[in-house]
Amino acid sequence: MGVCVTPATVPTRGAHDASVPTNSKEPSKNIRICLPPSSQSNGWVNAQNTPPKRALLIFNPKSGNGQSPLPRFIAALGDLGWQVDAEELPKEGDLEQVLGQLERYRAVIAAGGDGTVSSLAYALKYSGVPLMAYPAGTANLIAQNLDLPDNPEALAKVVDDFHTVELDLGELTVEDQVRGFTMLAGAGADATMISESEKLKEKLGVMAYVVSAMKQFQPKFTTFTLEYDGQVKEIEAMAVMVANLGMANFRLPIASGVSPTDGKLTVLILKPGSVFDLLGNVLESVKARLGLGDVANHNIESFHTEAVVVKSAEPFPLQFDGEIRKENTPFSARVLPGAVKFLTQEAPKKLDT
């Protein structure tokens, strides 16, 4: 059986514990930090002792800059009567081990960037166990789309209120590998921008994406072939993106009509152009965010579908939910309707663009 402790302070992660990383000494009343069971154990604790308010927190120590107020969030949950068991995200991405006792938890908390949140959302698909997207990464676009607060105590209140929305997920197949995505998968200029931003994240944070986008003065384009709903479409484009959530930083809409609850994915085709066209897209997004009209990006074509196959005349790099992949096009994507429950204070319609 694993060991659960109630320390006086949330300890710094060591070689033999699963506590959250921190350099501060925060109070941890009512917090239980649980160590994983040994290879001979069948579980952590007796299920008969499971409290009604028990959450599994899975954190990625590599997300963001390592200075997350996560201990304050855990302490706030403790004050609200929650028991929190913390586990580090497995290095190899094998989530079966940490989710093996899922029936013991009322909620799962993903503390990391969009890649961490998305991988856990996909692992939890159709389980019925709600997920909290705790924003501990650089951009935290999933948390922004869900309109979650930044304050740790306010985030704990969202968990305790236990209001959930049932959202679709995307499922991507490339080179016979199947993965899930929560926000967006794409090939082309968006993947190049994210790749270039990786080396800048530590110094610039979220501004790394802006700097990377500005460096693409004349992004590369190619001919894409899209197969969907019995149709075949060929078009020249800088990027093809398949979106489930439709807001970028500061909840700026990427395009109108993207919904995570309609049982469909929105395919966005970014036509050839320059960085000045991209700046125009940003201005259109700001206009829509201020309630001055819908997004009218003339260089973006879109349609809705349940499934799509994306091919390109030459291989283009892929990304999904901010994670650069080693694979290139082609890929296929399909929607998983109502696959995951997220904790948020927002109504489903507030998540549409």
Contact present, 321 and 182 (Cβ < 8 Å): yes
Same domain? 176 vs 241:
yes
In which domain, by residue range, is 136 found?
4-162
pLDDT digits (tens, 9 = 90+) for 6-21: 333 333 333 333 344 4
Instruction: Report the length, in residues, of the chain.
Output: 353
Tell me the HSE value of 44 on the side-chain side, using a 13 A CA sphere. 25
Q: Look at strands 184-188 and 239-243 and give their pairing.
A: antiparallel
Residue 108 shares a structural domain with residue 200:
no
SS (H, E, C) 25-53: CCECCCCCEECCCCCCCCCCCCHHHCCCC
Which CATH number fits the domain that encloses residue 23?
3.40.50.10330
Q: Is the pLDDT confidence value at 275 over 50?
A: yes
Two tokens at 55? 């959450």
Asked if residue 158 and residue 59 are part of one domain, the reply reads: yes
Residue 146 sits in the same domain as residue 176: no
Is 346 among the domain residues?
no
Kindly state the percentage of the chain with pLDDT values over 70: 68
pLDDT at 352 over 90: yes
Looking at beta carbons, which pairs linking 228-234 to residues 24 or more positions away fall under 8 Å?
228/267, 228/303, 228/305, 228/307, 228/308, 228/309, 229/305, 229/306
In this predicted model, what pLDDT tens digit does every residue of 330-344 receive, in sequence order?
999 999 999 999 999
* Number of domains, the chain: 2
Q: Are residues 20 and 155 in the same domain?
A: yes
Task: Give the integer Cα–Cα distance in Å for 240 and 242.
Answer: 7
pLDDT of residue 286: 57
- Among 6-20, 228-242, 247-261, 326-340, the range scoring the smallest mean pLDDT is 6-20
Give me the helices (H) in 207-337, please: 207-215, 275-289
Residues 222/314, Cβ–Cβ less than 8 Å:
yes
Domain finish residue from 105, 136, 162? 162
The average pLDDT across 290-314 equals 84
How far is Cα 146 from Cα 208, in angstroms, rounded to an integer? 22
Q: What is the mean pLDDT of the chain?
A: 79
| Same domain membership, residue 15 and residue 134 | yes
pLDDT of residue 236: 94
In a domain, 211, yes or no: yes
Phi-psi region of 190 (alpha: psi -120 to 50; beta: other; left: phi over 0): alpha
pTM for the model: 0.76
